[in-house]
Chain A
Amino acid sequence: QSVLTQPPSASGTPGQRVTISCSGSSSNIGSNTVNWYQQLPGTAPKLLIYRNNQRPSGVPDRFSGSKSGTSASLAISGLQSEDEADYYCASWDDSLNGVFGGGTKLTVL
Chain B
Amino acid sequence: QVQLVQSGAEVKKPGASVKVSCKASGYTFTSYDINWVRQATGQGLEWMGWMNPNSGNTGYAQKFQDRVTITRNTSINTNYMELSSLRSEDTAVYYCARGRLFDIWGQGTMVTVSS
Nearest chain A CB to B5's CB is how many angstroms away? 12
Judging by beta carbons under 8 Å apart, are B59 and A96 in contact?
yes
- Check A88–B44 contact: CB distance below 8 A: yes
Q: Is A68 an interface residue (CB 8 A)?
A: no
Write the chain B residue with the least CB distance to A44: B105
B 46-82 contacts with A by CB, 8 A:
46-47, 50, 59, 61-62
Q: Is the CB of A98 within 8 A of B103?
A: no
Query: How would you classify the secondary structure of chain A's contact residues: helix, strand, loop or mixed?
Result: strand
Q: Tell me which residues from 59 to 109 in chain A have a Cβ below 8 Å from any Cβ of chain B.
A: 88, 90, 92, 96-103
A105 to chain B, nearest CB (A): 10
Interface positions, chain A 27-80, Cβ under 8 Å from B, are 35, 37, 44-47, 50-51, 56
Complex: how many Å from CA A47 to CA B37? 14
Contact of B37 among A96, A98, A102 (CB under 8 A): A98
Q: How far is the CA of A2 from the CA of B50 in the complex (A)?
A: 18
With a CB–CB cut-off of 8 A, which chain B residues contact A88? 44-45
Interface residues on A, range: 20 to 34
From known contacts A44-B108, A98-B50, infer whether A37 and B102 are also in contact, taking CB-CB under 8 Å: yes
B102 pairs with A45, CB closer than 8 A: yes
Those of B21-61 within 8 Å (CB) of chain A: 35, 37, 44-47, 50, 59, 61
How far is it, in angstroms, between the C-alpha of A92 and the C-alpha of B59 when the chains are bound? 12
| B contact set with A: CB distance below 8 Å | 35, 37, 44-47, 50, 59, 61-62, 95, 97, 100-103, 105-108
CB pairs A–B below 8 angstroms (19 shown)? A35-B102, A44-B107, A44-B108, A45-B45, A45-B97, A45-B102, A50-B101, A51-B101, A56-B103, A88-B45, A90-B45, A90-B47, A96-B50, A97-B47, A98-B50, A100-B37, A100-B45, A100-B47, A103-B44
